[in-house]
Structure 1
Amino acid sequence: MTDCGCDQARRDLEEYLRHEVCKTEQADIAEHLAHCADCTDEALVARTLTEVIARACRESAPEELRDQVLASLRAVQATH
């Protein structure tokens, strides 16, 4: 393992967080993050943002709102 440096760590950060890099790159970025506070902070922000977006995507609108939207769409379609 070797420290890949800030440029590579930041360039591949999203893929690293999604476990989409090869094992060697994964280990190199992990080693870099263990020794670089700036990149570790950036990784924390990216990880937090990814988790918040994932959580928001799992939420669904209330059934009543869905029915209102569909009724509105049907009303617009009926007039065109």
Structure 2
Amino acid sequence: MTDCGCDRARADLEEYLRNEICKTEQSDIREHIDGCEGCQSEALVARTLTDAVQRACKEAAPEDVRRNVLASIRATRATHTQS
């Protein structure tokens, strides 16, 4: 295994975090991140954002919020189609 370097690790970080790269590349990037403070920090931020987005995509708004948003959209459409 060889150190892939910061540029490559950062360029492939999203794919690495989603396990979308081959095992060899994944191993090289993991090895680099383990030894590089800057890339560790960037990986932590990216992982935190990725996890937050995944959680948000699974959550549903409460029904009353959903109804209010839909009513607002309908009212806006009605206003704009009459103009």
TM-score normalised by the shorter chain: which range applies? 0.7 to 0.9
- Tell me the amino acid that sits aligned with residue 67 of structure 1: R
Could you state the TM-score of these two structures normalised by the residue count of structure 2? 0.81
* Paired position in structure 2 for 1:25: 25
Cα root mean square deviation, aligned: 1.7
Question: d(CA) in 2 for partners of 1:71 and 1:22?
Answer: 47
* Paired position in structure 1 for 2:55: 55
Could you state the TM-score of these two structures normalised by the residue count of structure 1? 0.84
Task: Report how many aligned residue pairs link the two structures.
Answer: 80
Q: What displacement does 1:43 show?
A: 0.3
Q: Which runs of 5+ in 1 are unaligned?
A: none
* Paired position in structure 1 for 2:6: 6
Q: 1:61 to 1:28 in 2, by over 3 A?
A: same
Moved over 2 A (4+): 67-80
Q: 1:64 to 1:28 in 2, by over 3 A?
A: same
Q: Which runs of 5+ in 2 are unaligned?
A: none
Question: d(CA) in 1 for partners of 2:39 and 2:75?
Answer: 52
Question: d(CA) in 2 for partners of 1:77 and 1:36?
Answer: 52
